Structure 1
């Protein structure tokens, strides 16, 4: 069976949406310091107003409402005791001006603040002048509310401060702290059990053995999953023993929301995942995509299961094309990559029957007065080219039916990292670029 990329994207989204049991009304209470990047579980109602009281927007003089004039005549007022931030001031009387600091509570009776630089003299009294209590200040005429932050002008107590589903970044956490709350209710993290299979795979950090390769997939996918806000449980590499893998898979239970494996799902003689799940509901199919054509999807003990190909580039492309966007929809953590048009820097041939995804370097040309950037392909279409993948900052898309393209043609790119700013495209250390293609 062969699916289009769009059909498999919808299948993965449906699997996670209806079978992962993610959320189920659960929430956990976290201190604000641990809640960055998490998703708000329910509407947050402000327990206090912001600001909680009328306060001064400037360092200056608080003026009584009876001294507000519209005639343009200056005011000569007696200076009373200063109001520092954090103090509860005495009421202000008509004819008085209170030196007030930014953020300080406005005295009762005050209706406006004149900035210190508009006063005559343009500085606060000295300690000795305060003591003799006869210091006068000349102020320009002012209107009601000048440089006053009214209580509740930002947010009123009882209003919804943040809606459920909001991703909590620095600004949102700062707002919660300003409301006086030290903890916040967030949705639980989506949990993935990550499995890698293959007799040929060994763990990094061990001595290399003949005929074996180091496990890149577990680190690659764990980093990608965690970047998407997922909590990852990582299993040691499974050897090509179907019965052992079948028993391990059947023993898995909640709270895992997804089982994700790499390798062992193609048509070879030693495809351990395919053999282990022969009699299960898991479907093994082909997607019209290169790399990442072989895919597996289904449930094990009611838990969603996805199987990605074993080649590292195929595994990451599968994650970016199918799992990342589905996770974003289900968890509420944005999962869509920035998509931009770009001009090819070379001629390209793509199989018309498949959606080909290549790696490349996207260079931003906007600083040079151009609205569209360039993309240079990095490495060939092979699914084993890790060095080229590590040097890339974009995935380059050639949809079904593309065929041949020429340098200068427009393609869609997904940014994986920061675009280069009008510099020459970087290629891995091999100076002969043709060797990478």
Structure 2
């Protein structure tokens, strides 16, 4: 039942499709951390009028081209323009208007000289110690224009994007439903951080890594803790999820005697796929248990978190995995039948392999910069471009 990455993504997205199909309109103050459900266009242009980027004077550039501290340009001040109170007239040759940041540019003016480069000349005049610059003029619509699509469906609504949505003129935003995701780690060896660790045990790091990744993807979490290697205990732990929209488990999906999540879905659920042609994370399992979608992540910490980024996050956000291309600083080996996601480090404009690639080396994800994507059977040579996912 091995599937390709594309098949795995499509299959899991189909399981969640009905739960993510609808959207709701939420007020701006309730949108932080949500996922935008539709493209968002500007209702207005920004700036709404051509204005000044700084405090100074607005004038004609041609009047100031020879201005310097030794030969300043002398202009007559005829008024001022400030935000909310534009100068009503026009600027002619030899004239200037005091202007403040964000204030509309008067008719006739095409450049700004900053206040630091002005000198009072008395009798209603000012002297410019350098030429006025058109670069300090912000033209109407230079940020965005009315009707322009500025935010895209699937984007996480960070504070910066909520502020942008407000500037676009929207008081309410279409957001995707916030799924309730149950998180469960499995295995007799798993204990909570802070407890005394016995030989052979491990702390429940997967739970807390997945908690952050789900929240970053715009959804809520339900912490189910850990379940020992017992079919009854596993079922009871999953039952605590109540009305969860999705169950995410870690561990118990490989081929061992105690890989009980796999057995649970085979015997008491439905399996959409088991095993993906990728490394790390090949044993990933997807299906449903009692009508609730379930994604079984491997127990090794690196595998669990990488599989989430590659397969789970795209389904939760509706966005494809974001990648860029970099120069390979060394050879990256390929696997004959799996897409490899090697941890990589940036060195002098190129990417090289992190020295420890074992799935149990959790610090490697913290210390690496990217995941280097090497397709099945296609090794990458030093100096070639390689596709990477940013960590």
- Helix, strand or coil at the partner of 1:270: coil
- CA RMSD for the aligned pairs? 4.5
TM-score normalized by structure 2?
0.72
Aligned positions of 1:73-84 closer than 5 A? 79-84=77-82
Identify which of 190, 195, 200 aligns with 1:201. 190
How has the CA–CA distance of structure 1 residues 169 and 281 changed in structure 2, closer, same or farther, with 3 Å as cutoff? closer
Give how far 1:321 is off: 3.2
The CA distance in 2 between the partners of 1:289 and 1:95, in whole Å, is 70
Asked if 1:376 is matched to 2:353, the reply is: yes
> How far apart, CA to CA, are the structure 1 residues paired with 2:263 and 2:135?
77
Task: Kindly indicate whether the alpha-carbon contact (under 8 Å) linking 1:359 and 1:388 is maintained by their aligned counterparts in 2.
Answer: no
Task: In structure 2, list runs of 5 or more residues that go unmatched.
Answer: 61-73, 129-133
**Contact 1:282–1:298 (Cα < 8 Å) also in 2:** yes
In 2, the alpha carbon distance for the partners of 1:375 and 1:315 equals 23
Select which of 391, 398, 402 maps to 2:367: 391
How far residue 195 of structure 1 moved from its aligned partner, in angstroms, is 1.1
Q: Secondary structure of 1:12's partner?
A: helix
Residues 9-45 of structure 1: CA distance to partner in whole angstroms, max 9, x if unpaired? 33223333x34x115122322329x637842656445
What does the per-residue CA deviation read over 1:353-382, in whole Å, with 9 as the maximum and x for residues that have no partner? x3163644333444xxxxxx35235225x4
Contact 2:51/2:105, CA 8 A, preserved across alignment: yes
Match in the other structure for 2:292: 303
1:361 aligns with 2:344: yes
1:218 equivalenced with 2:207 (yes/no): yes
Change (3 A) 1:209 1:199: same
Between Structure 1 and Structure 2, whose CA radius of gyration is higher? 1
Equivalences for residues 185-196 of structure 1 within 5 A: 185-196=174-185
Contact 2:49 2:141 in 1 (8 A): yes
Alignment of 1:341-352 (within 5 A): 342-344=328-330, 352=336
Give the structure 1 partner of residue 109 of structure 2. Answer: 112
What is the count of residue pairs matched by the alignment? 369
The 8 Å contact of residues 50 and 156 in structure 1, kept in 2 or not, is answered as yes
> In 2, are the aligned partners of 1:362 and 1:393 still within 8 Å (CA)?
yes
Deviation at residue 238 of structure 1 after TM alignment = 1.4
TM-score (norm 1): 0.66
Task: Please list, as runs of the form range in 1=range in 2, the aligned pairs for 1:168-317 lying within 5 A after superposition.
Answer: 168=157, 172-178=161-167, 184-250=173-239, 252=241, 254=243, 256-277=244-265, 278-283=267-272, 285-317=274-306
Quick one: distance in 2 between partners of 1:323 and 1:221? 11
How many Å separate the matches in 2 of 1:314 and 1:57? Answer: 49
Q: Where in structure 1 are there 5+ consecutive unaligned residues?
A: 64-75, 130-134, 140-144, 367-372, 418-437
Contact 1:317 1:357 in 2 (8 A): no
